Structure 1
Amino acid sequence: MLEEHLGYVGDSVRLEQFKSAVAQVVKHGDCITDLGCGTGILGLLCLQAGASRVYAIDATAMIEVARESFVRAGWGGQAIFMGDYSPRANLPERVDVVICDQVGYFGFDAGIIEYLADARRRFLKPGGALIPARLRLQLAAVESETSYGLADGWRREGVPSEFHWLRQYAVNTKHAVNLQREELLGAPAELGSIDFREDNPDFFSWDAELRIERDGVLRGLGGWFDCELAEGVWLTNSPFADRPIKRSQAFLPIGEAVEVKAGDVVRARVMARPTDSVIAWEVEIASGGRKFSHSTWQGELRTPAEIIKRNPAHVPRPNSRGQARMIVLGLCDGQRTVRQVEEAVLREHPGLFPSVQETARFVAQVLGKDTE
């Protein structure tokens, strides 16, 4: 987790663009909400620009990193830290600006649409501002053998043939890659746009025509974003950009590599249901009529029991782990200590798990996650 956030904090281009956007949008005395704050760097930029206070929200242990960093920077008294997912959080007041960097690799694939829609509805004052404001999604035809190796790895030399069938999952997976210009078969096309200041649908479908500019081998699609933080201030992870941020792109493979020639047209359709983290893509090479259809839904490893549980008509019942969780939480009466809860579980339910150690570990996990 720290390594990931070091990449964000150490990305000078990213910080420079966010700082420019904050300088344009944040006014003296503004109240800010930072969604998925991580280290808290975006909230700090807002305070340094004149904001009066920041609500920093993050569901991971990074909230403690943010808390300590604010104190060390001298801004601890102007921040309220909330350890939760923003859709579960409640603020005591409306704010002037909501800021967030949950754009993932493809722009929409890290929950930003849902988070900003919820924040716009519940947190933001009328006339308040969002940073970022909108996305433009870009798509290109990809030749990259390195990227395709992520999708084709299960049948490469050295992998026992009994496991080659797992390739069907890998070619239905969105992969994070670092594309180079020379690995692309032509200029990108704008796939679509998403304006966070407006209501957006639950399901998106975008179409693009990609023109092949040189002979090569088509192995999939590359996707990235141009993100408008404020008017005229853009952030991008495009491999074509002179100053991109240090962020991977999304690679959507096709089932079989296909030779293409300069002048060929590749028709692509990308569909997404961001709240369910599902992306589907269809690719057609016009000259040869080859067609491919993929979906991250098909790339998920699911047991038969998991499939049954996703059926809306299924009648759910607590399993043994769920029953154990209810036992532990039922002992949390506001008076027992952690040690007393653990002792009560071991005494009253000695066979809850195969060993005392595992029972104690489970109790600690439940109390750490589901209690205050």
Structure 2
Amino acid sequence: MRGSADGVASDRSAMSNGGVAVDKGVDFANYFCTYAFLYHQKEMLSDRVRMDAYYNAVFGNKHHFTGKTVLDVGTGSGILAIWAGQAGARKVYAVEATKMSEHARELVKANNLEDVIEVIEGSIEDVTLPEKVDVIISEWMGYFLLRESMFDSVICARDRWLKPTGVMYPSHARMWLAPIRTGLGDQKMRDYEGSMDDWFGFMDETKTYYGVDMSVLTKPFSEEQKKYYLQTSLWNNLHPNQVVGTAAVIKEIDCLTVTVIDILNVRASISSSITTEETRLCGFAGWFDVHFRGSKENPAQHEIELTTAPSEDHGTHWGQQVFLLHPPIEISEGDDMIVNFSMNRTKENHRLMEVELSCEIRKPSGKLLPPFKNKYSIE
């Protein structure tokens, strides 16, 4: 989930997901059309952490915008384009794939910026601009940063339209992982067990009343329910005291130089130390932050950070992605962990992700706990 969308409304296929053909018509129906609704835009425009970061980044660094040309990739409601115009941009190209472009055009007009901002409905992969731009601004981040794969479109825009001296907003991004405690795992296990109890009741009734034995389907039903309840990551806004060990960066991104190949697979081996006395390791949480630093040649005057880390009072609509363990593991302060993490795009839908996570825990005595490995989906 994020604040705007850029895509394509044609039926042609595109190459994405590491060279796998993607049907653009299906992609539009499954993904882009979601952002054509004002209620969805309102949800993200109400995220004060998100809004404040972009607002402060633009107006705290007017030197990047005054008299400059700007491209807003996936303009959505048009608010980033409007801020760029208000900050003094000479010209802003606001590209939007969905009919939200019509609302953006009206909003631009209502804010007296129609002479500066040109709203273009279409895919950034397909549109042609009359000039190169000095700044590319976009709010492309999905759950755990890379879900939705919209960053592909931003990279495409950068490679096609950004001047060699241009800057990216945001300019950098990082992905984090940390061990956590939470009651979500217990709840999800109860949900799974309840679904199986319901299945057995259904199976008995079908045999009694209709003479059909459904037991052969018990295993695939169980696997289906396990994936839904136990192997799908969860969205949650965690409190900082739910983080029970040190957090580690699993991916760093320079938006000015990164390629699509660089983000197809995220792999990391990290270490973490438990910092909480006698608790349960219930899973891991992933979050991200992005930074507005400009570039080495043209740095920001005021660097801004937007973080989705666990917070006491400033959660975001992104929250954190929670990867649960079943059952939890008893841990204590001083335990050391080696965590191997990998994340890939699913074969069925390049906008969704598959995660594999394994861990070894060593006690201060040197004793190793049995290692574990789990798979999850980010849907």
Question: Is TM-score (shorter-chain normalized) higher than 0.5?
Answer: yes
> Secondary structure of 1:281's partner?
strand
Q: What's the TM-score once normalised by structure 1's chain length?
A: 0.72
1: CA distance between counterparts of 2:187 and 2:105? 41
Match of 1:283 among 358, 362, 371: 358
Select the residue among 176, 197, 211 that pairs with 2:273: 211
Q: Does 1:2 find its partner at 2:38? A: yes
User: Helix, strand or coil: the match of 1:86?
Assistant: coil
2:147–2:351: 8 Å Cα contact kept in structure 1?
no
Task: Give the alignment of 1:14-53 within 5 angstroms.
Answer: 14-23=50-59, 24=61, 26-53=64-91
- State the 1:14 CA deviation: 2.4
How far apart are 1:220 and its partner, in Å? 1.8
Contact 2:85–2:117 (CA<8 Å) still a contact in 1? no
Identity %: 24
Aligned pair 1:182/2:241, yes or no?
Answer: yes
Q: How many angstroms does 1:243 deviate by?
A: 5.2
Structure 1 residues 290, 57: CA separation in 2 closer, same or farther (over 3 Å shift)? same
Inter-partner Cα distance in structure 1 for 2:54 and 2:190: 37
CA distance in 1, matches of 2:372, 2:243: 20
Matches within 5 A, 1:247-286: 247-273=318-344, 277-286=352-361
Letter in 2 for 1:100: S
Q: How many residues align?
A: 298
State the distance in 2 between where 1:152 and 1:69 align: 47
Output aligned runs, 1:157-196, within 5 Å. 160-162=198-200, 163-170=221-228, 171-196=230-255
Contact 1:154/1:165 (<8 A) preserved: no
Q: Look up the equivalent residue of 2:281 and give its one-letter code.
A: L
RMSD, aligned α-carbons? 2.6
Residue aligning to 1:127: 165
Q: What secondary structure is seen at the aligned counterpart in 1 of 2:354? A: strand
Between the aligned partners of 2:315 and 2:156, the Cα distance in structure 1 is 29
Alpha-carbon displacement from aligned partner over 1:291-347 (angstroms, at most 9, x marks no partner): 123143xx88xxxxxxxxxxxxxxxxxxxxxxxxxxxxxxxxxxxxxxxxxxxxxxx
| Aligned residue identity for 2:273 | R
Q: Report the Cα offset of residue 240 of structure 1.
A: 4.2
Q: Distance in 2 between matches of 1:74 and 1:278?
A: 41
Matches of 1:152 and 1:271, distance apart in 2: 28
Q: What residue identity is the alignment partner of 2:353?
A: V
Aligned partners of 1:160, 1:285: CA distance in 2, in Å?
36
Q: Secondary structure at the match of 2:122?
A: coil
Contact 1:155 1:164 survives alignment (8 Å): no
The one-letter code matched in structure 2 to 1:59 is: A
Residue in 1 that maps onto 2:375: 294
Other-structure match for 1:334? none
Matches within 5 A, 1:59-208: 59-146=97-184, 149=187, 153-156=191-194, 160-162=198-200, 163-170=221-228, 171-200=230-259, 201=262, 202-208=264-270
Q: Which consecutive residues of structure 1, in runs of 5 or more, have no partner in the other structure? A: 301-372
Note if 1:238 corresponds to 2:309. yes
Secondary structure at the aligned position of 1:67 is classed as helix
Residues 175, 287 of structure 2: 8 Å contact kept: yes
Letter of the structure 2 residue corresponding to residue 169 of structure 1: K
8 Å CA contact 1:143–1:216 kept in 2: the answer is yes
C-alpha displacement at 1:131, in angstroms?
0.3
- Match of residue 320 from structure 1: none
User: What are the superposed Cα offsets for residues 191-246 of structure 1, whole Å, 9 maximum, x if unpaired?
Assistant: 22111111332322122222222222222211111210234211011114775644
Structure 2 counterpart of 1:85, which letter? S
Q: How much has 1:121 moved relative to structure 2?
A: 0.5
Q: Which has the higher helix share?
A: 1
Shift of 1:56: 1.5
Which amino acid is the alignment partner of residue 103 of structure 1?
A: M
Shift of 1:276: 5.5
Residues 284 and 292, structure 1, Cα contact 8 Å, conserved in 2:
yes
Structure number with the higher strand fraction is: 2
1 CA distance for matches of 2:67 and 2:100? 26
TM-score normalised to structure 2 length: 0.71
Distance between the aligned counterparts of 1:238 and 1:187, measured in 2?
13
For residues 148-174 of structure 1, give each alpha carbon's deviation from its aligned partner in whole angstroms, at most 9, with x where no partner exists. Answer: 645763334786145543233233323
Structure with the bigger RCO (C-alpha within 8 Å, sep 6+) is 2
Give deviations 1:97-136, integer Å, cap 9, x for gaps.
1111111231222324312221111121111111011112
